[in-house]
Amino acid sequence: MSELTDALEKLSRQFDLKELHTMKRMQPGLSRAEIAELAKPLPFALPEEVIELFEWRNGLRDCIGWDDMEAACFFEGSDPMSLQRAIELYFELAKVPLDSFRSSWFPLFGDSGGDVYCIDCVEDIGTIWDFDSKPASDDEEFGLLAFRSLTKMIATIVMCYEQDAYYWNDQGVFDIDFDKSTDIAFQENPDAEYWKSRAGGQ
């Protein structure tokens, strides 16, 4: 078992321990042949970690309603995309004249506000970048380094669950302690500009 697959299995156990519905919303994984066929239009080969991710599960299915979404947290509002949606979004982003979107970035996780976590596919072990297609101001960076690898990202998320940075609050709502999750991520990824920025530029 690879480090990434091991981390993903640990993450699935955390979903169960937190009594989340996340795994029920995950779509079955794809075969390597299916992944290769779907990825043919891309101008680069998908890194091995990306292939392993989609072999594990092919992203989240659409949620039925708020309750379904509320009890299916994955990572701070960002959900894993299906490979089909990720490829579709890649070509949407690649054709938009955004100077800071690199043609080698492939989206893996995203939210409804335009924030996307991408992996750099020119690297053997791709770094993970937080990319905002709708920056708040003209001088704000579109993309910041967030994790050294997909394996590091998933392992960091596991730690956030284990240390209760993600938790059920007194009102029965699944909540996030952003200060705590930032501290964990910054500790695990000290050279990542994204967490340094969220921690106040320490």
Q: What does the domain layout of the chain look like in residue ranges?
A: 3-198
Can you give the pTM of this predicted structure?
Answer: 0.90
48-51 long-range Cβ contacts below 8 angstroms, 24+ apart? 49/4, 49/119, 49/125, 49/126, 49/149, 49/150, 49/151, 50/106, 50/108, 50/119, 50/121, 50/126, 50/150
Q: What angle do CA 69, 154, 107 make, to 5 degrees?
A: 70
DSSP summary character for residue 119: E
Q: In CATH, what number does 3-198 get?
A: 3.40.1580.10
Residue 83 near residue 32, CB atoms below 8 Å: no
Q: Using the structure block, give the residue that is written with the tokens 């709502």.
A: 173
What is residue 107's predicted lDDT score, i.e. its pLDDT? Answer: 96
What is residue 18's predicted lDDT score, i.e. its pLDDT? Answer: 93
Residue 164 near residue 170, CB atoms below 8 Å: no
What is residue 133's predicted lDDT score, i.e. its pLDDT? Answer: 62
What is residue 65's predicted lDDT score, i.e. its pLDDT? Answer: 47
Tokens representing 27 are: 């779509």
Q: What is the CA radius of gyration of the chain?
A: 16
Q: Low-confidence residues of the chain, pLDDT below 70?
A: 1, 62-71, 97-99, 133-142, 200-202
